[in-house]
Amino acid sequence: MSAFLSTTAVSLGASSLLLLLFVRKYLQSNAHPPYPRGPRPLPLIGNIFDMPTERFVLPYSKLGEKYGPITWLVVPGRTIIVLNTYDSMYEILERRGSNYTDRPRAAMIQDLVGMDFITPLRQGDPTWRLHRKFLRPALSLDTIKRNYSDIFLASAHRFIERLVREPENFRFGLKRSLGETISELAYGACNDGQGNDYVAKQQELLVYSTLASAGYLVDLFPSLKHVPSWFPGAQFQRDAKKWRQHMTDLRHLMIEGVQKRMAANEGRSCYVVNMLEDLQKVKDETGADITEEIQAVYDSGFSFYQGKLALFISFLLAMTLAPAAQAQARKEIDKVVGTGRFPEFKDQGDLPYTHAVVLESLRWNPPAPFIIPHASREDDTYNGYFIPKGTMVIPNVWQISRDPSVYEDPTTFNPDRFINNPNILDPRDFVFGFGRRACPGSYLAYQIMWMFVVSTLWAFELEKPEGEPPLDKDTDRFDFGFLK
């Protein structure tokens, strides 16, 4: 018996050894570089406790300080990397942009609220490419100045008038003026003439989309989207239903408005009308079916309304905290424009310091501290680290704005850094995104902001209210919201 057991043990030992050798050979043949560094994940739940719940970019920046340009995180059903340097973002998202054109699936805002049709949230599919095909030329710098500069000028004038009448309601006046600009540019109107205010409804939708983007449990566990709305704890289902209905009604309202105005030959020059007229010419000449293209125009036009308010609020705050910069900009504007007329786009080339003020406002507080995440289509490697297919990639652009190796004394508002300094990183190269997913409306956003900035400094001297705290630290100045 003992001999039999000994022989059996030797056989089992040999079998185990052969199995181990086989597994080792298999792993080597399927080996990949190591994953990026990051905090140690816990069993089952991964790095859930390492994920920030507020002021997202500050914890992301701390992780970058500890683990390097790329931080690796794991949550149930998803792998994540956070990029904290311009070089890593440019290499991964710009140079390898074709592999990072998708978006990670977000169950709340995309599936339940149904906003996956808008250009920023669409996957990198043929319809998204059609959106980009329409948006790129329509929002080029030449097209904006040629077709839409009058809209910007009129909107800036309305804002100045509102500010004169009701200075205490400057935030409402600003939101209203910017909203009118975008609504007129996209759809050619601010209302349907029957009491439906496009701007107010768009602002309400912006609030809903911001809430839906804030992070829900259903985003971590997508199967929860099948929970019925009456189930205890399913408030997210009831919220999503309400927000989806509001969005659907608004889409139909704005589309019907354009169709009615065009049928009555009252269609004003705007993105949707101009594109539909061009498509109709193609159909008349070729007989092509343009149904898909028409829908793409409507959907891409609906994507125009973004959080442009954040761009200007940063400027207003900066002017109260940096009175010397404000005085220098106002002196330049007074010299070039004078007091007998409003500023115009033709003045841009003669106002280099004002241009620097706008650039510094973008850098000092990026309008979206982290831009919409990308998702990798295929396995990839970067600096010897492995990035598997389907990884969520979060670009922490706030950290670029505070990187002392990029910007000297980064917390200080200093437009002089952009004067006669051609080698400095232009904030427009990162605040509007990277690669094929970069915001096609970057020229639009900058031109709107420039016109509002120069008009405000031409008309007013801005001062901090008495009794306000000093706001010496970034954490006191900003709320770090995704959309403001």
Binding-site residue set for heme: 439
Q: Please, are residues 324 and 378 in contact by the beta-carbon 8 Å criterion?
A: no
Contact 308, 279 (CB under 8 A): no
Are 139 and 153 contacting, i.e. CB atoms less than 8 angstroms apart?
A: no
Q: List, as residue ranges, the binding site.
A: 439
Strand 392-395 relative to strand 78-83, pairing: parallel
Number of other CB atoms surrounding residue 327 within 10 Å: 13
H/E run at residue 189: none
| Neighbour tally for 427: CB within 10 Å | 21
Residue with tokens 């190796």: 405
- Burial profile 448-469: b = 16 or more Cβ within 10 angstroms, e = fewer: bbbbbbbbbbbbbebeeeeeee
CB 268 within 8 A of CB 261: yes
Bridge pairing between strands 392-395 and 374-375? antiparallel
> In this structure, what token pair is assigned to residue 165?
């009448």
Is residue 306 within 8 A of residue 466, CB to CB? The reply is no
